Amino acid sequence: MKVRAKGAVGVATAVVLGVTGGGGSAFADDMDPHEIYERSAPATVHVLGKDYSLGSGFIYNPDQGLIATAAHVVQGEATLKVVVGDRQPVPVRVVGIDPCEDLAVLKFTSPQQDLKGLKFGESKGLQAADRVVSLGYPDALGDNPTAAKPAYTGGSVQNPNVQNAVPSSSLPRYPVTVQHSATVNPGNSGGPLLNGKDEVVGINTLTATGGVQGQFYAISSDHARPVLDSLAAGETKNDPGWSLMALDDPELSAQFVEEDQPTVEKLQKRLTDAEVSGVVVVRSLTNSPAYKAELLPGDVVTHLKDAPVASVAEVCDVLQSASPGESLPVTAVVTADDPKGQFKFGDAWTTELVLGKSKGGGG
């Protein structure tokens, strides 16, 4: 099966209710929205795959060329570039990634001149109805990434401290997020959420759906900052080199190329009718621990380290408790009948997932 090019925005199919907000409360020392945009847009980057848009990010350490983004924006991508302002796309590499925190740090592969950077603020100071701003590169900007500028949306904080949210079975558990109304469209994931002082108070990652409108979520800066520090030091956590979605996710087939989608839908129905629960491998990077364990796109994992896993959050529970270099038993199911009769659809098969030296990582 072939995986389609992805646009990046997490979708919260189940949301945590918060305080509703309108335009938000402004403070005397808040900057003018136009000033915030002019200061922050040059540090907000467009993240690209080989030949398609992935999402957004922002430079937070211009001296070292470090970029913060959401892990789901870059996970499973072998080739990455970013666009800074009106410059041409330039290559970047993943310094560290933690899909279970949905955070990643990128670094320019060669020194860049005159970079601008954003500063972090304290998200603990946010209150309901405070004004906030989202910046990013929504997919609607078109196919030419070098012609686009980051889009600005304003809103207000609805709930400054949403804890331990598990928005869908295909997403990890989010320890602390800021719920707000500054629109986050597909392509905006990984971009900054800014307060009125032009400080990053969150990293945008989720959009509520399922009949709920105007609710968006950013990983709080107070939670994200120490994670980013460890990732910038070169740690890769909880990333065996795969991208996963839950078998029960109605959006599963959309992750594959159009010609494979009917096959994926039939497979999904056949497995769920057989009462199989698990997670589906959507991507597997060459030479990663997942690839070496022969866990490839379309494979369905039902158990990890002998624990049943029906959601990405349950996979993360196992990975986050594992030790560097640990070998994790994996149980998967056969998803096709063998014409020779050696195995049949639904049979269990096993492999070993050997983690890298970094905690839960690819090594």
Please provide the DSSP assignment of 276-328 as one string: ---EEEEEE-TTSHHHHTT--TT-EEEEETTEE--SHHHHHHHHHHSPTTPEE
301 phi/psi in degrees, rounded to 5: -95, 130
pLDDT at 110 over 70: yes
Please report which helix (H) or strand (E) contains residue 73, including its range.
Answer: helix 71-74
Q: Are 191 and 302 within one domain?
A: no
Q: Where does a domain end: 190, 211, 232?
A: 232
Q: Where does a domain end: 174, 207, 232?
A: 232
Q: What is the pLDDT averaged over residues 40-49?
A: 95
88 within some domain: yes
Strands 53-61 and 44-48: antiparallel
Between these two residues, 209 and 325, which has the higher pLDDT value?
325
Q: Are 131 and 178 within one domain?
A: yes
309 within some domain: yes
Radius of gyration of the chain (CA): 20
14 within some domain: yes
d(CA 56, CA 8): 8
pLDDT at 21 over 90: no
SS3 337: coil
d(CA 124, CA 195): 12
| pLDDT tens per residue across span 150-192 | 999 999 999 999 999 888 899 999 999 999 999 998 889 999 9
Contacts of 145 (CB under 8 A, 6+ apart): 46, 48, 53, 83, 89, 137
Q: Are 222 and 344 within one domain?
A: no
4 within some domain: no
Q: Are 332 and 282 within one domain?
A: yes
Contact 243, 252 (CB under 8 A): no
Q: Tell me 269's DSSP state.
A: H
Q: Please count the structural domains in the chain.
A: 2
305 within some domain: yes
Cβ-in-10-Å burial (0-12, 13-18, 19+) of 197 comes to middle
CATH code at 321?
2.30.42.10
Task: Report pLDDT for 342.
Answer: 78
Task: Report pLDDT for 341.
Answer: 72
Q: Are 281 and 192 within one domain?
A: no
Contact 26, 74 (CB under 8 A): no
1 within some domain: no
Q: What is the pLDDT averaged over residues 334-351?
A: 85
Q: Are 220 and 283 within one domain?
A: no
Q: Are 224 and 259 within one domain?
A: no
Q: Are 318 and 289 within one domain?
A: yes
Please report which helix (H) or strand (E) contains residue 157, including its range.
Answer: strand 151-165
16 within some domain: yes
To which residue do tokens 């924006």 refer? 73
Q: Are 222 and 337 within one domain?
A: no
Q: Where does a domain end: 174, 205, 232?
A: 232
Task: Report pLDDT for 211.
Answer: 62
Q: How confident is the model at residue 19 (pLDDT cuts 50, 70, 90)?
A: very low
Query: What percentage of residues in the chain have a pLDDT greater than 90?
Result: 70
Cβ-in-10-Å burial (0-12, 13-18, 19+) of 142 comes to exposed
237 within some domain: no
228 phi/psi in degrees, rounded to 5: -60, -35
Q: What is the pLDDT averaged over residues 8-37?
A: 56
pLDDT at 14 over 80: no
Q: 313-318: long-range contacts (C-beta < 8 A, 24 or more apart)?
A: 313/166, 313/169, 313/171, 313/172, 313/173, 315/244, 315/279, 316/99, 316/100, 316/172, 316/173, 316/238
d(CA 21, CA 27): 16
Q: How confident is the model at residue 5 (pLDDT cuts 50, 70, 90)?
A: very low
CATH code at 222?
2.40.10.120
pLDDT at 25 over 70: no
Q: Are 156 and 277 within one domain?
A: no
pLDDT at 229 over 70: yes
Task: Report pLDDT for 236.
Answer: 84
**Considering the entire predicted model, what is its pTM?**
0.87
Percentages of the chain per state (helix, strand, coil), in multiples of 5: 20, 35, 45
Q: Which tokens go with 158? A: 């609805």
| pLDDT tens per residue across span 273-316 | 999 999 999 999 999 999 999 999 999 999 999 999 999 999 99
Domain of residue 289: give its range. Answer: 242-354
29, 30, 32, 33 alpha-carbon torsion, rounded to 10°: 170
Q: Are 162 and 204 within one domain?
A: yes
Averaged pLDDT of the chain: 88
Contacts of 7 (CB under 8 A, 6+ apart): 52, 53, 54, 55, 139, 186, 187
Q: Are 262 and 331 within one domain?
A: yes
| pLDDT tens per residue across span 131-156 | 999 999 987 555 555 556 899 999 99
Q: How confident is the model at residue 12 (pLDDT cuts 50, 70, 90)?
A: very low
Q: What sign does the dihedral 15-99-84-198 (CA atoms) show?
A: positive
Q: What is the pLDDT averaged over residues 73-85?
A: 91
Between these two residues, 295 and 362, which has the higher pLDDT value?
295
